[in-house]
Structure 1
Amino acid sequence: MLNRLLAPLFVLASLGAQAQGTVYRCPGPPVLYTDALSSKEAHEKGCRTIEGTPITVVQSPRPRTGASASAPSAEARGAESRVEAGQQRVRDDERRRVLQTELHQAEERLANAQREFATGQERRGDERNYQKYLDRMAELKDNIGRYEADVQALKREIAKLPS
């Protein structure tokens, strides 16, 4: 009776295996798993069937294409990307003018901050709390330091430009 019940199950299982196809593991430097071979081809190549073993397929990550790989090299671009000397001089002059304007504005901000710091040494009427006075003076000192750093950075940038 048990054989009668199990027989249909074996028939269904074998039909399911045939529907999916037989998967072979073929030896070689890259081990190959395939279901595209006939049993004769698999036997000739020394492949074994895999039955009941789950197969996990892991996709390898795609290689990254960096900006340097896709961008043409400096030699490939050649003369077409070069700027004429006259045009470059105009660009440098424009950059120098913009930087000098920014430098002038930064120097004005620095002078104003230093004046405000010098005249702000006395406590104001709204600074009854001594901490408010300390906070204001610390902010003025920070502003002076920031403006001095701005002036120095702009001077360095101007010095880098060709004469």
Structure 2
Amino acid sequence: MPHRLALLPLLLLAASGVQAQQVYRCPGPPVLYTDALSAKEAQEKGCRSIEGTPITILQSPKPRPAASGATAGAPVQRTGNDGRVEPAQQKVRDDERRRVLEGELREGEQRLAELQREYQGGQPERRGDERNFQKYLDRVAELKASITRQEADIQALKREISKLP
């Protein structure tokens, strides 16, 4: 009697006319498991049948909502259900951001002044290790590129500071 109960689902499937689809494992990054291929398509793509192989399906965890710019572990003060930060808290954040950006701006301007002093308008002094003139030219080109990058960084910092309230 227990064997008959085990066969009952198979008999119901056969009686209803539903056929079990063959599942294939197709190679390549990412590995693909599918039942949407015919046997011929699976063979052409190098897919193998996984008939009889146990399959484990894992449900991914639900993503947690982001902390919307707050520091990890720090309590976020909100005014209500609309997700806004209290004006006093926002002012503290803006002031801190301005302080950090202005510090970076000062450092960037100091670094630019050092690079320009060393560059000397395109005629820096040759070093002892630059007996080969090409080494000197390479250093001059690197200095010029560094000055250009530093100027771009300073302009970006100024734009960010100007956006602050």
Q: Please indicate, yes or no, whether the TM-score normalized by the shorter chain is above 0.5.
A: yes
Counterpart CA distance in 2 for 1:31 and 1:65 is: 32
Correspondence 1:150 to 2:153: yes
Aligned residue number for residue 79 of structure 1: 80
Q: Larger relative CO (CA 8 A, sep 6+): 1 or 2?
A: 1
Deviation per CA, 1:31-65: give whole Å up to 9, x if none.
Answer: 579xxxxxxxxxxxxxxxxxxxxx54674855656
Distance 1:92 1:30, change over 3 A: farther
Superposition pairs for residues 10-89 of structure 1, below 5 Å?
22=7, 24-25=10-11, 26-27=13-14, 28=16, 31=19, 56=52, 59=55, 62=58, 64=60, 67=63, 70-71=64-65, 79=80, 81-89=83-91
Q: Taking structure 1 as the reference length, what is the TM-score of the superposition?
A: 0.55
Distance 1:22 1:61, change over 3 A: closer
- Pick from 103, 117, 120: which aligns with 2:105? 103
Q: CA RMSD in A?
A: 3.7
Counterpart CA distance in 1 for 2:163 and 2:57 is: 44
- Cα shift at 1:84: 1.3
Q: Taking structure 2 as the reference length, what is the TM-score of the superposition?
A: 0.55
Counterpart CA distance in 1 for 2:18 and 2:54 is: 14
Helix, strand or coil at the partner of 1:79: coil
Aligned residue number for residue 120 of structure 2: 118
Deviation per CA, 1:12-32: give whole Å up to 9, x if none.
Answer: xxxxxx7xx658251448657
Counterpart CA distance in 1 for 2:163 and 2:17 is: 58
**Counterpart residue identity of residue 117, structure 1:** Y
- Cα shift at 1:138: 1.6
State, as a whole percentage, how many aligned pairs show the same letter.
50
- Unmatched 5+ stretches in structure 1: 1-17, 34-54
Counterpart CA distance in 2 for 1:158 and 1:30 is: 67
- Cα shift at 1:124: 3.2
Deviation per CA, 1:67-91: give whole Å up to 9, x if none.
Answer: 3xx438x9xx982653211121121
Higher gyration radius (CA): 1
**Counterpart residue identity of residue 152, structure 1:** Q
Counterpart CA distance in 1 for 2:18 and 2:108 is: 67
